[in-house]
Amino acid sequence: MRHVQGIGPFAALATLALALLVAAGCVYDWDLGAPVAAEVDAGGGDAGSSDAGPGCDALVQKVQAARVAAKTCTLGAAGQCGGSIVDECGCTSFVKDPESPEASAFSAAVEEIEASNCPASCPASCMLGMTGTCLLSAGMGPYCLP
């Protein structure tokens, strides 16, 4: 009896596991992170304030909360995730509606943290994407990804 050459069951299982890991990495939005419960002033805040402003931790929370609000979308709805904002890491971050108060607040928070010289916690590389898509991310969302 002649045996057909092919991959063994261990190699097939390892290949499947690797494919699942790669696919999971393609869907998770490392940029988004966990939702933050902090409130965001959708009107952009008081730009004329003369105080020194919040500390770095507060600014990071403000950016994260604004990011979540701007990227939150409705699964299956048309006309979402078509616009983007360059975030504090220089990455393209797709938002539900680039003209919304939430997107304006996100953009303002990014500008504020950049002007503060607070260190940004950025991934090693940005998620690549030419268009945004409304998806669930790590059991949360839905959010515009990437």
Query: For the segment 102-137, what is each residue's pLDDT rounded down to a tens digit?
Result: 999 999 999 999 999 888 888 888 888 888 999 998
Residue with the bigger pLDDT between 134 and 2: it is 134
Q: How far apart are CA 93 and CA 87, in angstroms?
A: 6
In b/e form, how buried is each residue of 66-93, taking b as 16+ CB within 10 angstroms? bbbbbbbbeeeeeebbebbbebbeebbb
Q: How far apart are CA 10 and CA 29, in angstroms?
A: 31
Question: Over 60: is that where the pLDDT of 19 sits?
Answer: no
pLDDT at 54: 57
Residue 20 — pLDDT band, cuts 50, 70, 90? Answer: very low
Q: How far apart are CA 69 and CA 143, in angstroms?
A: 9
Percentage of residues in the chain having pLDDT higher than 70: 63
pLDDT at 122: 87
Mean pLDDT in the chain? 73
Question: Over 60: is that where the pLDDT of 21 sits?
Answer: no
pLDDT digits (tens, 9 = 90+) for 33-88: 444 333 333 333 333 333 334 589 999 999 999 999 999 999 999 999 999 999 99
